[in-house]
Amino acid sequence: MNITEFQSLLQPVADYINGRQIENNLADALDQQFPAHGKTFEAIEKACHQAISEGWMCSQGGEGRRFGRIIEPSVETHNLSVDVVDLNNIVGPHHRHPEGEICMIMPVTSEALFDGKGRGWCVYEPGSAHHPTVTNGEAVVLYMLPNGKIEFTEAR
């Protein structure tokens, strides 16, 4: 697995998001189009775990919180950046989403929750902010940011 292959796996998701409003009901639409136990979701999840074990994904950070930007926004991604975090029972640094955030939640521990949500999709609207929080174990979260925009309000 390399970044080009990984981006190819994500292309149907980026294509689907393209032109849609980044709002709460987008999560429901993504759950319908790319269900948490569907082929596309599971292929992306498997690729994330493989890339993390190979060391090129989530290569920054330390115990309990590893992260990294995988793909910069581009024409091919419809100006979405792609980051992946591996969080284990942690409250991450507060940040704001100037243009929104689309999250794919992949629990490693079956009971793990990201911001109170289990396996599947969640969407934060433009202007929203939060402390990304994983409880009840470990989860990998892939998140896409329109134009790669994120504003950290606390030190990382």
The per-residue pLDDT for range 8-30, each reduced to its tens digit, is: 999 999 999 999 999 999 999 99
Query: Over the stretch 73-129, which tens digit does the pLDDT of each residue have?
Result: 999 999 999 999 999 999 999 999 999 999 999 999 999 999 999 999 999 999 999
| pTM of structure | 0.95
Kindly tell me the sign of the dihedral angle through the C-alpha atoms of 137, 111, 10, 17: negative
Residue 125 to residue 99: CA distance in whole angstroms: 7
Q: Which of 106, 143, 139, 114 is nearest to 22 (CA)?
A: 143
The mean per-residue pLDDT over the stretch 52-74 comes to 94
Q: Given this model, what pLDDT does residue 156 score?
A: 62
Question: Can you state the angle between helices 39-54 and 3-17, rounded to 10 degrees?
Answer: 140
Residue 26 to residue 123: CA distance in whole angstroms: 7
Q: Given strand 95-97, what is the order of strands in its sheet?
A: 128-130, 95-97, 151-152
- Checking if the pLDDT of 1 tops 90, the result is no
Q: Given this model, what pLDDT does residue 111 score?
A: 97
Confidence class for position 63, pLDDT limits 50, 70, 90 = confident
Q: Given this model, what pLDDT does residue 89 score?
A: 97
CATH number of 3-145: 2.60.120.10
